[in-house]
Each structure stands twice: as structure tokens, then as C-alpha cells.
Structure 1
Amino acid sequence: MEGADVVIGKSTIIFRRFMRNKTAVAGLAIFLALTLFSFVGGYFTPWDKETIDPFNIGMPPSAEHYLGTSQAGIDLYAMTVEGTRISILIGLVVGLVSVLIAAVYGCTMAYFGGKVDKLMLFVLEALIMMPALLVVAVATSGGGAGLKQDLPSWLLLIIVLLVFSWMGTARLIRSLSMSLMQRDFVKAAQYMGVPPRRIIWRHLVPNIGSLLVLDITRGVTAAILAEVAFSFIGIGIKLPDVSLGVLIGGATSQVQTFPWMFWVPLTVMFLLTGSLAMMNDGLRDAFDPSSSSSGKARKKRARNNGTDQSLVQKKAS
């Protein structure tokens, strides 16, 4: 129908803004490529992370071993595939679940207020005061011997990281939700007798959606870096489980002798965290067009439009 208005949803607008950001799209492509590599890369080699090749010990990259072998004769390509998958899995689970916990906890504090808010805030402050590094060290070493027998080290690390990764976001969500509680649509829902659970999920959480999405990407990055850091110093993932942190930490003392053992997983880690940072910047600009990078892009387009208009005026004169 001619002259009819076309209504475009907010999510469509955000998606289009994101896709116009070439840097963000490149970051998304890199992250998806690494994720695909971590799940299907093992089908392109006959070796796995446990098979030893006694005839190729400490060998550089070759046609048989694409990324070389370790000093124990294990294929580095197979270990990199496994390590990338474990690191991405840790990042995604911790990033998604921690934000979900923070959203529910923070919105619940803001909705009920009063004594409930004070009690939940006390628990939150107590958890923040706990020494995360010490808890990780105890849980993944002798202090967590019972758990270690039942759970793989990477799953145990996920549980420990989840305990400490949501508190800061929960406090921020509480502050934002308390301001939302004063809005008319929330008060109207309360007046109509809408259950608290539905108000939280239908009115509070959707209105902080942009914050949640950005915190997910930041949380995934932080979880991957935490895994690498903890495994690097020996209190994270333990052999026979493999991760990027395990590979980097195990090859640090052999950079001169077996440089490929160190630089390959380090490069993958940089690509992984760098792609997530690029995606986070693109998402921020998509949700907030007034952010710095979006503002620069608009100013550049404005200058180009002004130059084009001046050229047209000169030609017309």
C-alpha cells in the first residue's frame, strides 16, 4: 500500500547497527570461526590429545602434525582444538549463567526492598569480601579432593568462577531496577495484582536488556582470561584436561626450545579475547548510538555529506 508507514522493531534496528559496524562483524566472524574450529577441528587429524607419537617428539609443524608436537610427542593441533573448546565452554557458561543469576538476584532485591533487600545485600557484600583466589586454589587442589574425584577440573573451575563472577553485576542491576520500580508501568502492574515473578521477568529484566547483553560479552571474556590466569599459575584446570591456559603455562619454560608450543595457544587466546572485545564495542554502539565510536562515525559521514553538498553547489554556480 503506497504511503503506508513501515514499523521497524527495536531489535531489528540494533541488529542493523551492529551489522553496519565492520569491526564488530569481523570480531563475530573470528569468534564463530574459532568456535567452529574447536568443535569440528578434531575431524581433520587422526591424532588426539592423548595419543603419543614416539617417532615425532618435539617436532615443529609438518604435514603429519599441522602445528607440531610437544616434548612428549603429543599433537599440538589436537591439544589446541581441545583447549580452545574447553576455554570457550568455560567462557560461555560462566558469562551467561552469571548474568542470569545477577539479573534475578538484583531485580529481586529491588522489587521487594525493605528487610529482604537488606538481607540479600548483606549476603552479596559477604560474598564480595571472600578471597576468590584462595577459594579457587583450595577447591582445585587438596581441599577439594572429594569434588575432584567426581568432577573434571574444568567443570569444577566453572562452578568456582560462577560463585564469584556475578556480584558486581547484581549490585548494578539492583540500582537500575530500583529506579525502574518508580516507573508508571511497574506501579500499574503492581496495582493490577500482577505476580512479582511476572513483573520481574516481563517489566524489569527486559528494560535492562542492553546492560545484560553487554555484561554477557564482558563476562565471557573475563571468564576466559580467568581460566588462562588460574591454569597458568597451576590452580585452574589440571592435566589430563587441556585448556588454553594449561597449554600456555606448560610451554612457558620451553619458549626457546619449542616456541610453537607457546605461541600457538597464545595466538588463539589473543584472537578469542580480541574478537569478543570487538563484538562488545559493536554491541555498545548498536545499543547506544550516542557512544564515542558511533559519534565519530556520524561526524565523519556529516563531513562527507557537507563536502558533497559544497561540491554540488560549486558545480551549480
Structure 2
Amino acid sequence: MTHGDEVKMTIPGSELEIHETDAPVEDDSVVSVAGRSPTQLAIARFRADKLSMISFTVTVFIVLCAIAAPILVATGVLHPNEFHQELLSDDGVAPAGRFGGISWDHPFGVDPASGRDLLARLMLAITSSLTIAISGTILTVIIGSVLGIVAGFSGGFVDAVIGRIIDLTLSFPQTLMLLALSGPVVLMFRTQIADFAPLSFFESADLSNGFYVILILAIFGWPPVARVVRGQVLSIREREFIEAARLLGASRRRLYFKEVLPNVWAPVLVYVTLLVPAYISAEAAFNFLGVGIKPPTPTLGNILGDSVSYTSADPMYFFLPGALLALIVVVFNLVGDGARDALDPKSHR
């Protein structure tokens, strides 16, 4: 048979004929369809949401500012602790000029009583606050995911014990424990990490206070993560691929981290995007209570706490950090909402 020849097949007892030819098909209506993985479908749904993409772009910009701030301080581009008394008014408190001393040299103005550049301090404050929030989120997710997987997969006595630990943790008053343990725990951290302070742009006192806030956030933040992961594991542990892995002799560690964990990352990822803004707000609240990184190292919390004393003399000093904190919290929450909708197509905003 040569190229382009036609082959005719007739099915006995039927008038149906099948014509097969090896000639090239030149039909423009034939469209090739490529399969896409669930991850690719989720990314496509996320990119189709304009509000989520705008929030994601702003979030990336904020993170880049947080990364660049200590580099710019180390290279002398930013001067967050440089005093400019000449930029203050005659009373030595309020910044000279309108809107808190905003100028080309100081786009966000200067802070009262010292004349330090507010833009430089806010950029470094984003670094401090995001470092605490992201570190606390990572520790929270690690503790909650491990205990949630163990509880959901093991069941029985182990599940009951972890459940009681969750109830006990949630019953503790977080604010009271935060204030009661701050003194001895911070002092212990300070003696342990004093040798590592030169490796960071934080002082040893700032590191110890920061570690304490991260520890408190993780200790009281992991139970909801554990409950979410446990609920997912309860439905996963009875599936065929888990039974196949058991029959092949997979160890508990492999079952936990190779078989179960990759199938619960979606809700954990959504929870991460919601924990970061919550922890940024918590860090700001802790500074109002006197716990956290202290000035002169700036955080969004201690700048806001300091601005309360100057609301009448310099309203912009209160408005700009508050607006920045609100913006960070909103865009992170919107990214979390977009991730949830993209990963769960049945959900509707």
C-alpha cells in the first residue's frame, strides 16, 4: 500500500464501513488538548483573579523591601538612626514643614523629637516585623503539621493525648503568659545568643526579645494548624496508596512525610498566608504591652506605640505606620483568600 491509499473495513452483518487512510489530515477544526496538573490549574485560577494578583504583586514588593532594607542600611544608603534636629520646629518636637516634614530628601517625613528619616525606619521596621511573623509562622506550621499528622494517622490513644494537649494549650491565657514569662525567658535567651549578635543587624537584646515573641506565637498558634491537618489526614489514611505503601513495608516516617504530608500542603499553604498578617498584628500588639523588640531598632509595633504620644503634634507620624500595617495585613489576607479559592474550585468568594 502506498502513501495516501485508503483501506475499507466492513463489519459483517452491518452496513457500517470504516475508512482508514494514512493521508495527512488538514482539518483546522482539530485542536490538540494538553493535560494540566492540579497545581497548574490552581495557578491558572489564581492568575485569573485580578484582585489576588494585585495583592500578590504588592506582597512581593513588600517582601523585597524587607530584604533590601538591612542591605541599604549596611551600605549607608539608609540612615534610620541619624538625628536631624535642624528639621524640627522651634519647639523641638514637631517636624518643621507641612505633613510631618515631607520633602524630596525625606519622602515620608521625619519622626518627632529626633528628626530621623521615617521612610528608612519604616523599611527597617518591615524587615523586623516580617522576620518575626514569618519565623513564627514557620515554627507554628512545623509543630502543628507534625502533631496533626501523628494524631490523625495514629488514632486511638495517641490521638486522644494530642487532642488533650491542644485543649490545654488553648485554655491558657496567652496575654497573661506572655507578660508573666517575658522576664526570665528573655534573660535566658540573652545569655545564650549574645555571642551570635554580631552576625545580625539586631542587637543581642533585640534578638532575645524577638525570639521570645516568636516562641510565644508558635506555642499558642499551633493548635488550629494541628486540627486542620488532622482532619485532612483522617480522610487520607484510608486511601489505596497509603495501604499500598504499608504493604510494601514503608516505615512510619515515610508514611508521614512522603505519603501523607504532600497531600495536606494545600490547606497548610492557605493557613500560612493567613498566619503571617495575624502575627504581624500580634507583634504590634505585643509592643503596646511592652514585650518585643525595643527602640531604637524599629518595628511596626514600636513605631506605632511611639506615635501615640505625638498624635496631636504630628498626625502623619501615626497615620503612615498605621496605614502601612493595614496595607500589609490586607494584601496578605487577600493573597490567602485567592490561594484558598484557587486550590478549592468548589469555594466561591
Provide the C-alpha distance between the structure 2 equivalents of 1:101 and 1:292, rounded to a whole number of angstroms: 30
State whether structure 2 residue 319 is matched by structure 1 residue 288: no
Equivalence map 1:9-88=2 (5 Å): 9-41=37-69, 43=72, 46-57=77-88, 58-59=94-95, 60-70=101-111, 71-88=113-130
Does residue 1:218 correspond to 2:274, yes or no? yes
State the alpha-carbon separation in 2 of the partners of residues 162 and 143 from structure 1: 15
2:86 is aligned with what amino acid?
A: F
Q: 1:100 aligns with which of 142, 152, 159?
A: 142
Contact 2:152 2:230 (8 Å CA) reproduced: yes
Deviation at 1:138, TM superposition (A): 3.0
Given residue 324 of structure 2, which amino acid in structure 1 is its aligned partner?
A: V
Work out whether residues 83 and 243 of structure 1, in 8 Å CA contact, stay in contact via their aligned partners in 2: yes
**Matched-pair contact (CA < 8 Å) for 1:106–1:170:** yes
SS at match of 1:212: helix
1:232/1:249 contact within 8 Å kept? yes
The alpha-carbon deviation at position 160 of structure 1 amounts to: 1.8
User: Any idea what the Cα deviations from partners look like across 1:82-136, whole Å, max 9, x if unmatched?
Assistant: 1111112222222233122211110011222233223333333222222211222
Q: Is the 8 A contact 1:102 1:169 kept in 2?
A: yes
Structure 1 vs Structure 2: percent identity of aligned residues?
24
Shift of 1:37: 2.1
- Whether 1:200 aligns to 2:256 is yes
CA–CA separation in structure 1 for the residues paired with 2:171 and 2:253: 29
Structure having the larger proportion of residues in helix: 1
**For the structure 1 residues 138 and 147, does the alpha-carbon distance in structure 2 shift closer, same or farther, using more than 3 Å as the test?**
farther
Question: For residues 144 and 154 of structure 1, what CA distance do their matches in structure 2 show?
Answer: 9
2:16 aligned residue: none
What SS class does the counterpart of residue 292 from structure 1 fall into? coil
| Unaligned 5+ runs, structure 1 | 294-317
SS at match of 1:276: helix
| 1:232 positional shift | 2.5
Amino acid at match of 1:166: W
1:126 match: 168
Scaled by the length of structure 2, what TM-score is found?
0.77
CA distance in structure 1 between the aligned counterparts of 2:210 and 2:106, rounded to whole angstroms: 26
- In terms of mean alpha carbon deviation, does 110-119 or 254-263 score higher? 110-119
Q: Could you give the per-residue CA deviations for residues 188-224 of structure 1, whole angstroms, max 9, x where no partner exists? A: 2222211111111222222222211110101111111
- Determine whether 1:144 maps to 2:191: no
Q: For 2:79 and 2:181, how far apart are their aligned partners in 1?
A: 29
* CA shift for structure 1 position 4: 5.5
The equivalent position to 1:261 in structure 2, one of 281, 302, 317, is: 317
**Contact kept? 1:39, 1:81, Cα under 8 Å:** no
| Unmatched runs of 5 consecutive residues or more in structure 2 | 1-23, 25-29, 89-93, 96-100, 194-203
Q: Which amino acid aligns with 1:69?
A: V
Q: Following TM superposition, by how much is the alpha carbon of 1:46 offset from its aligned partner in structure 2, in angstroms?
A: 4.4
1:6 is aligned to 2:48: no
More contact order relative to length (CA 8 Å, sep ≥ 6): 1
3-state secondary structure, aligned to 2:87: coil
Q: Counterparts of 1:225-304 in structure 2 under 5 Å?
A: 225-293=281-349
Flag the 1:140–1:79 CA change in 2: closer, same or farther, 3 A.
farther
TM-aligned CA deviation for residue 41 of structure 1: 4.8
Whole-angstrom distance in 2 between the partners of 1:108 and 1:142: 32
CA distance in 1 between counterparts of 2:185 and 2:215 reads 15
Measured in 1, the distance between the counterparts of 2:339 and 2:105 equals 41
Is the CA contact 2:149–2:260 (under 8 Å) kept in the aligned structure 1?
A: yes
Preserved CA contact (<8 Å) 1:154 1:241: no
**What number of residue pairs does the alignment pair up?**
293
Is contact 1:95-1:218 (8 Å) kept? no
Question: Within 5 Å, which residues of 2 pair with 1:300-311?
Answer: none
Aligned with 1:166: secondary structure?
A: helix
Contact 1:141 1:235 in 2 (8 A): no
The 3 A distance-change label for structure 1 pair 155 and 90 is same
Q: Which of these two proteins has the greater Rg computed from alpha carbons?
A: 2
**Structure 2 counterpart of 1:299:** none
C-alpha distance in structure 1 between counterparts of 2:272 and 2:145, whole Å: 11
Q: Deviations over 1:202-257 (max 9, x none)?
A: 22222222211110101111111111111133223322332101111110121111
Secondary structure at the aligned position of 1:8 is classed as: coil
